[in-house]
Amino acid sequence: MGSLLSLPVIISALELGFIYALVALALFLSYSILNIADLSTDGCFTLGCAVGAQVVIMGHPVLALFAAMLAGVCSGYIMALLQTKLGVESILAGIIVNTGLYTVNLAVMGFSSNLSIFKSDTIYSLFKDVLGNTSYKLVVSIVIVLIACAVMAWFLGTRLGLSIRATGDNSDMVKASSINPGFTITVGLCISGSLTALSGCLIGQYQKSCDINLGTGMVTIALASLIIGETLVGKSSVFRRIVGVIVGSCLYRFAIAVALRLHIPAECLKLVSAVIVAVAIASPYLKSQVAFQRRKMAAVSGGKGGDGAC
């Protein structure tokens, strides 16, 4: 293990794990709670990165985070508008918003497909002197992500949070409580958009660059993290589920790090992620199948002399 994962590799896996956990947290809200497959995630992630990068270039790395989140809220709002006011199905709404965002993102980046923020201060470089050279990126990421998670956990216990949770669970019942499900869906998607964009913004500042294709495949990766977390940590309480999101995201990054250490060529990395995602998503089902087969075997061997022979 030691030879496979050196300390710098572990640290950078954790850094990425925490930053990307925000996207998984966004999908936790939109997918697990509201039951909406939000395919605008990819574009929204890039949007956050692009908006953040521009504000960083202007010299405001902290403001960049809020600007990115605001952009994410707008993206989520349009997604919700299509669904609740115009009757577009959620999958289609996501695809439409994602397509539109490509142009928006290019525009934000000044119609270039790449933006470098190498010369500017970032949220990370601000804390470099205080926190020391090895762990400053990790500490900053962890702090931001933990704040986001704490706010989310608190929020889901409030009246508004409860109504959002009920919307995905039984929207008839939400109406019976005199709450408009259209409203709760809108709030949920706006929050989820802001988290996705925040993650994009952090990645941009982390890598000191922004690329138009940065978000490609993000929704699958986040979904995998979410499901890895749910499988390993469980989903009995909101707190557990949020912890699961972080654990899942970090584990996914470790898996990728291991793949890289095994000298799997970079071109094959997408395939590796696809396999990890498929395994993660299939594993709860496989687990139940294995348990069932075990029970069946036990029943058959236990009932010897009966019709077990045929």
Partner 1 sequence: MLRLVNVRKVFNAGTVNEKVALDGVSLTVNDGDFATIIGSNGAGKSTLFNCIGGSFYVDEGSVFLDDRNITYVPDYKRAVQIGRLFQDPMKGTAPHMTIEENLALAYLRVAKKKSVFSRISQAERNMFRERLALLDMGLEDRMKQPVGLLSGGQRQALTLLMATLIPPKILLLDEHTAALDPATADKVIELTKRVVQENHLACLMITHNMHSALEMGNRTLMMDSGRIVLDISGEERAGLTVDGLLEKFSAGAGRELDNDRILFSKIE
**Do residues 75 and 197 make contact, with C-beta atoms less than 8 angstroms apart?**
yes
Residue 93 has which token pair? 């709404």
Compute how many other C-beta atoms are within 10 angstroms of the C-beta atom of residue 141: 24
Does 181 participate in binding partner 1 (rule CB under 8 A)? yes
Q: Which one of 16-24, 88-96, 179-187, 193-201 is the stretch in contact with partner 1 (CB under 8 A)?
A: 179-187
Does 194 participate in binding partner 1 (rule CB under 8 A)? no
Compute the least distance from the CB of residue 180 to partner 1, in Å.
5
Within 8 A by CB and 6+ apart from 304, the residues are none
Q: How many residues make contact with partner 1 (CB under 8 A)? A: 21
Q: Please select the residue that binds partner 1; options are 39, 53, 79, 179, rule is CB under 8 A.
A: 179
Does 226 participate in binding partner 1 (rule CB under 8 A)? no
Touching partner 1, residues 130-159 (CB under 8 A)? 155, 157-159
CA dihedral 274, 278, 280, 282 (to 10 degrees): 180
Q: Look-up: residue for tokens 């403001």? A: 63
Does 166 participate in binding partner 1 (rule CB under 8 A)? yes
Closest to partner 1 by CB, 183 vs 254, is 183
Closest to partner 1 by CB, 173 vs 291, is 173
Helical pair 61-84 and 90-108, crossing angle rounded to 10 deg: 150
Q: Look-up: residue for tokens 């654990």? A: 247
Q: Rounded CA gap, 228 and 86, in Å?
A: 34
Closest to partner 1 by CB, 11 vs 243, is 243
Compute the least distance from the CB of residue 173 to partner 1, in Å.
5
Q: Look-up: residue for tokens 């010299």? A: 59
Compute how many other C-beta atoms are within 10 angstroms of the C-beta atom of residue 45: 35
Does 165 participate in binding partner 1 (rule CB under 8 A)? yes
Residue ranges that bind partner 1, judged by CB under 8 A: 155, 157-160, 162-163, 165-166, 169-170, 172-181
